[in-house]
């Protein structure tokens, strides 16, 4: 068994202000990577700026990160970081800015390398990187993974290098202003991480230590996810903690078939990531050993996989061209490394059922 989690996580109200001194020790000029608007609206960007100003750390803001960030965006951020002399990278937002920040931290440190270095396996260091999540889905604040859009391949692909944040600063208040569809989609993504990790062939006692508390916490948050209760600060903090636990889980096991199937759906059909992953989750779990399946469903509060599927589709309904689904399925069936993480043999008939959404 193994468990590797090098990120120091602080999860509490006002955690950026409370831990500003530790943040300031990581560098003298920060490149802040974020999206166009949300970090300004929810207050997270101001909190980071105030913390840096308090300790005389200068900064440059790169706010051009798109949803599902591309390699091209990362290289633009890299160029900005080099020009401003950044020795620290801070990612603020959902998984997109945080993933982009990880990749930019790698490329600034290795400034003589072309973009293809992102997908090489040679050992490399990155600049110190800090994650400030503002959604409750990707768990990127607790993983070394960075998933980028590859326009040349018309899909999304994980960077080969692992870049774990030095610090993750988790404050549920940033979630309070999130639109309901963002809340639902990102919560489904977190659930997918937990379930995919739970059934992975790499799962063990150590990964279960984060998976099952994460599933149980997700179940407690379900009324807020489905909108039957108004989100408050305590529930928001719990949702953010659920995402972090899910991130810790996939940091040990990786993601599996639902994630692999989702990437082409997102690129080709514009389906939000959480909805795209969730569309395949119930059918994927359907073929898992009955005892393991029951333990997962009990923990998360569903009676069977059909009920889970109905719940996900009611929150994040999608439609997709059958040809895209079939191309995606063929790509996954050819990916032996990804199939090896599945606890059962994935035949063509099983895959046909999984993509029947």
DSSP, collapsed to helix, strand or coil, labels residue 147 as strand
* Three-class DSSP labels, 328-339: HHHHHHCCHHHH
Report pLDDT for 227. Answer: 92
Low-confidence ranges of the chain (pLDDT < 50): none
Q: What is the DSSP letter of 346?
A: -
Whether 8-174 and 180-354 share one fold: the answer is no
Residue 114 neighbours by CB under 8 Å, 6+ apart:
none
CATH fold for domain 8-174: Rossmann fold (3.40.50)
Q: How is domain 180-354 classified at the CATH fold level?
A: Dehydroquinate synthase-like, alpha domain (1.20.1090)
353 membership: H or E segment, kind and range:
helix 348-354
pLDDT per residue as tens digits for the range 225-258? 999 999 999 999 999 999 999 999 999 999 999 9
305-323 pLDDT per residue, tens: 999 999 999 999 998 899 9
The pTM for the full model equals: 0.97
- Position 319 scores a pLDDT of 87
Torsion of CA 47, 49, 53, 58, to 10 degrees: 160
Domain boundaries, the chain: 8-174, 180-354
Asked if residues 129 and 165 have their Cβ atoms less than 8 Å apart, the reply is yes
Among 37, 108, 31, which Cα is nearest to 66's?
37
User: How far is Cα of residue 157 from the mean position of the Cα atoms in its chain?
Assistant: 13
CA 91 to chain centre: 13
């Amino acid at each position: 068994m193994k468990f590797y989690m090098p990120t120091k996580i602080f999860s509490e109200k006002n955690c950026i202000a409370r831990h500003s001194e530790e943040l300031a020790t990581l560098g003298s000029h920060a490149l802040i990577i974020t999206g166009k608007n949300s970090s300004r609206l929810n207050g997270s960007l101001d909190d980071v700026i105030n913390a840096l100003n308090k300790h005389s750390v200068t900064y440059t803001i790169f706010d051009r990160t798109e949803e599902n960030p591309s390699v091209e965006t990362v290289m633009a951020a890299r160029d900005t970081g080099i020009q401003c002399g950044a020795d620290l990278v801070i990612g603020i937002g959902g998984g997109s800015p945080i993933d982009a920040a990880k990749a930019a931290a790698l490329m600034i440190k290795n400034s003589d390398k072309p973009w293809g270095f992102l997908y090489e396996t040679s050992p490399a260091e990155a600049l110190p990187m800090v994650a400030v999540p503002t959604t409750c889905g990707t768990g990127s604040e607790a993983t070394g993974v960075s998933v980028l859009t590859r326009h040349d391949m018309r899909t999304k692909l994980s960077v080969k290098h692992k870049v774990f944040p030095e610090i993750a600063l988790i404050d549920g208040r940033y979630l309070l202003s999130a639109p309901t569809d963002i809340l639902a989609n990102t919560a489904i993504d977190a659930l997918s991480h937990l379930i995919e990790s739970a059934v992975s062939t790499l799962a063990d006692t150590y990964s279960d230590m984060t998976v099952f508390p994460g599933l149980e916490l997700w179940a407690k948050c379900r009324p807020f996810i489905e909108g039957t209760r108004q989100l408050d600060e305590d529930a928001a903090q719990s949702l953010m903690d659920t995402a972090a636990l899910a991130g810790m889980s996939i940091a040990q096991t990786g993601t599996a078939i639902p994630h692999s199937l989702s990437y082409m759906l997102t690129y080709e059909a514009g389906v939000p990531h959480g909805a795209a992953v969730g569309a395949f989750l119930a059918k994927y779990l359907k073929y898992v050993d009955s005892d393991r399946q029951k333990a997962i469903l009990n923990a998360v509060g569903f009676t069977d996989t059909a009920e889970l599927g109905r719940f996900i589709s009611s929150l994040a309904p999608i439609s997709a061209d059958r040809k895209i689904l079939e191309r995606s399925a063929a790509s996954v069936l050819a990916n032996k490394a990804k199939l090896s993480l599945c606890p059962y043999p994935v035949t063509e008939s099983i895959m046909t059922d999984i993509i029947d959404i």
